[in-house]
Chain A
Amino acid sequence: MDKEYVGFAALPNQLHRKSVKKGFDFTLMVAGESGLGKSTLINSLFLTNLYEDRQVPEASARLTQTLTIERRGVEIEEGGVKVKLTLVDTPGFGDSVDCSDCWLPVVRFIEEQFEQYLRDESGLNRKNIQDSRVHCCLYFISPFGRGLRPLDVAFLRAVHEKVNIIPVIGKADALMPKETQALKQKIRDQLKEEEINIYQFPECDSDEDEDFKRQDAEMKGSIPFAVVGSCEVVRDGGTRPVRGRRYSWGTVEVENPQHCDFLNLRRMLVQTHLQDLKEVTHDLLYEGYRARCLQSLARPGARDRTSRSKLSRQSATEIPLPMLPLAETEKLIREKDEELRRMQEMLEKMQAQMQQSQAQGEQSDAL
């Protein structure tokens, strides 16, 4: 036995075992107009039939329908790991003739989850905090349009600072390969133009091998993911059974990377970045919300942004309204770090005031 062996290299294993025992919470929001294959894709991703009892109302019923938020929970277990998956659906989005402000209920919902977490975190009993915050929003873009529609842009701008957005092109089997490429490029250009921040998959470590780096770059280059979903298995006479959609002219295979980006999406969302999505939600998006909230609590009269002399940073990133002008990835990482540091400082400052207002807040717990 090696005398220099201490043994804390076993720590990751311990953490792993603990989290396997504890299970894993994840809240995924799915948004986009109806008919883009959202439910089918979710069923395909998680190999469940979450939407079995769903009723899609007729057009005349949807004339004046307001957007509702629906939550469905499912527990999935695989390899001993339990995942408690919560799906948030937004039926009615983009359906009505007049869709003005139809995204407001979604924004409100996301903020409510932050609010709830903030209250729980500041409360006395923190042992069993339920994390109902939305960790990721899969936004479905129509393959029939010419890129983002005005409604897409409005929705994305309203939520991009509050939730991790992963844009996908639904029903991608409507497109020929060249059309898919052109549409993806158009969407990427539009996202840049409209300054919409989608979830940035982190850079892979520099010590990874070339193959992995290439694969990683390829996956990142295929965003927005052009997906096709299916829960039906097609068994064509000599070939092996595949999950797909059978047409008179051929069969689209969901898990064939030549046909669509389903595998990429599944890999990046479920297999590699589930934890990172949660972390970014907590460290960046939630902290941003919390900071804004506490600032306005601590100084009820100081809504005036110009009188922020106490805080040292001059940039616009500290305004309560989410107007982070994040441009490039490196800048984002740098600012992410800086914000975390700044949050720490502010936290210390607020501690004293929090304890005071907390005592009062507990009594009038009308929240």
Chain B
Amino acid sequence: MSELVPEPRPKPAVPMKPVSINSNLLGYIGIDTIIEQMRKKTMKTGFDFNIMVVGQSGLGKSTLVNTLFKSQVSRKASSWNREEKIPKTVEIKAIGHVIEEGGVKMKLTVIDTPGFGDQINNENCWEPIEKYINEQYEKFLKEEVNIARKKRIPDTRVHCCLYFISPTGHSLRPLDLEFMKHLSKVVNIIPVIAKADTMTLEEKSEFKQRVRKELEVNGIEFYPQKEFDEDLEDKTENDKIRQESMPFAVVGSDKEYQVNGKRVLGRKTPWGIIEVENLNHCEFALLRDFVIRTHLQDLKEVTHNIHYETYRAKRLNDNGGLPPVSVDTEESHESNP
């Protein structure tokens, strides 16, 4: 539906960093407590995070999300004998959970896309996904242009899309390229190599190199996108991730085993136990730290300031510069954009 119009991307709507004044202050003012105040507010209100998973069936998407958030937040129970049939067209299934840690509440929504890439003919199977993402932008836009706006607009926009690459060991599949080409301008895509326990260290490293090269050659920018690095610090940190670690080769599991006296999440095979959180075994811990511990807020910000703004600008342009008419009445939810 939406072709990739080569419009110039709008500059990020993030305020410029303030120029630091001469810091010879004569006493302690206390402006630094703002961090603590923000933290307290966030804890009270909690925050939204919407993560989408895309990939062929059987690549361990649901298990991985459950492992990431250490809870059963994904669409299916994580038993292997799932009897569900592959749907004929791509479906979009969103499930919300509230999880809490250290007094902070997160309203997590996991959006699953069963049926993607499973048919004989997968032409345009990304369209329902693109449509869903744009629909969430549209919902937000409608709220924004309302005369009487809600205090906190419910944010259903997709902040992060984990794209699961099959560990063939050769290269990307044509469908992978097509999907990422179409969607990388609309949502933050984080490619992951699924079920990475089938590759030895050398195979993994070669495969990753080839995938990175293919993405580059095809002009696909995955998150963190180069153009949105704000300063040198960001750039160095992100460059390292982009050029060395990504795509993360992950293994997911919901079963625990005893290893060296500890209970660990893993997979037990006759030739050894694969520990999910052991960096020598797979990069799950890197993915988790990246998505949750360091870049969670940035994912949301890029979604709001870049992807959403692009959508908004296009919509307003199409409408002749006028905001779209909004007459819907949704129930109010508490959330931060």
Partner of A171, one of B80, B194, B198: B198
B119 lies within 8 A of A150 (CB): yes
Contact-residue bracket for chain A:
35 or more
A144 lies within 8 A of B56 (CB): yes
B272 lies within 8 A of A249 (CB): yes
B57 lies within 8 A of A249 (CB): no
B269 lies within 8 A of A176 (CB): yes
Q: Nearest chain-A residue to B176 (Cβ)?
A: A59
Q: Which A234-258 residues have a C-beta within 8 angstroms of B?
A: 245-253, 256, 258
A196-B33 Cα distance, complex, nearest whole Å: 71
Beyond A247-B197, A259-B271, 16 extra complex contacts between A and B, CB < 8 Å: A56-B170, A58-B214, A59-B177, A60-B177, A98-B123, A99-B120, A100-B120, A143-B198, A144-B59, A145-B57, A171-B198, A173-B197, A174-B167, A246-B200, A248-B278, A249-B274
Chain B positions near chain A (C-beta within 8 angstroms): 56-60, 80-82, 86, 118-123, 166-178, 194-195, 197-198, 200-201, 210, 214, 217-218, 267-275, 278, 280-281
Query: Is A179 at the interface (CB under 8 A from chain B)?
Result: yes
B281 lies within 8 A of A248 (CB): yes
A250 lies within 8 A of B172 (CB): no
A173-B267 Cα distance, complex, nearest whole Å: 11
A98-B120 Cα distance, complex, nearest whole Å: 6
* Residues of chain B with a CB closer than 8 A to A253's CB: 271
Partner of B175, one of A35, A97, A144, A179: A97
A98 lies within 8 A of B214 (CB): no
For the complex of A and B, the 3 pairs showing the least CB-CB separation, nearest first, are: A35-B168, A250-B272, A249-B272
B168 lies within 8 A of A150 (CB): no
Partner of B171, one of A59, A96, A176: A59
* Residues of chain A with a CB closer than 8 A to B177's CB: 59-60, 63
How many A-B Cβ pairs are below 8 Å?
124
Query: Is A146 at the interface (CB under 8 A from chain B)?
Result: yes
Partner of A95, one of B56, B174, B194, B272: B174
B82 lies within 8 A of A176 (CB): no
A12-B170 Cα distance, complex, nearest whole Å: 48
* Residues of chain A with a CB closer than 8 A to B175's CB: 97
A246-B270 Cα distance, complex, nearest whole Å: 13
Q: Which A179-215 residues have a C-beta within 8 angstroms of B?
A: 179, 182
> Can you list 8 A-B contacts (CB < 8 A)?
A34-B168, A56-B171, A62-B174, A96-B174, A144-B166, A150-B118, A174-B195, A177-B270
Partner of A173, one of B81, B178, B269: B269
A252-B122 Cα distance, complex, nearest whole Å: 35
Query: Is A291 at the interface (CB under 8 A from chain B)?
Result: no
Q: Nearest chain-B residue to A147 (Cβ)?
A: B58
A143-B57 Cα distance, complex, nearest whole Å: 11
A250-B270 Cα distance, complex, nearest whole Å: 9
Partner of B218, one of A60, A146, A176: A60
* Residues of chain B with a CB closer than 8 A to A176's CB: 267-269
Q: Nearest chain-A residue to B88 (Cβ)?
A: A150
* Residues of chain B with a CB closer than 8 A to A246's CB: 200
B214 lies within 8 A of A249 (CB): no
B269 lies within 8 A of A177 (CB): yes
A250 lies within 8 A of B269 (CB): yes
A99-B178 Cα distance, complex, nearest whole Å: 15
B275 lies within 8 A of A151 (CB): no
Query: Is A154 at the interface (CB under 8 A from chain B)?
Result: yes
Q: Whole-angstrom distance from the CB of B261 to the nearest CB of chain A?
A: 17
Q: Nearest chain-A residue to B215 (Cβ)?
A: A59
* Residues of chain B with a CB closer than 8 A to A22's CB: none
Q: Whole-angstrom distance from the CB of B205 to the nearest CB of chain A?
A: 13
A97-B270 in contact given A173-B198, A245-B200, A246-B200 (Cβ < 8 Å): no
* Residues of chain A with a CB closer than 8 A to B59's CB: 144
A150-B271 in contact given A60-B177, A144-B58, A246-B200 (Cβ < 8 Å): no
B171 lies within 8 A of A150 (CB): no
* Residues of chain B with a CB closer than 8 A to A251's CB: 271-272
Partner of B217, one of A60, A96, A178: A60
Query: Is A27 at the interface (CB under 8 A from chain B)?
Result: no
A98-B121 Cα distance, complex, nearest whole Å: 4
Which of A56, A143, A144, A245 has most chain B Cβ within 10 Å? A144
A249 lies within 8 A of B120 (CB): no
Q: Nearest chain-B residue to A252 (Cβ)?
A: B271
B80 lies within 8 A of A179 (CB): yes
Q: Nearest chain-B residue to A185 (Cβ)?
A: B81
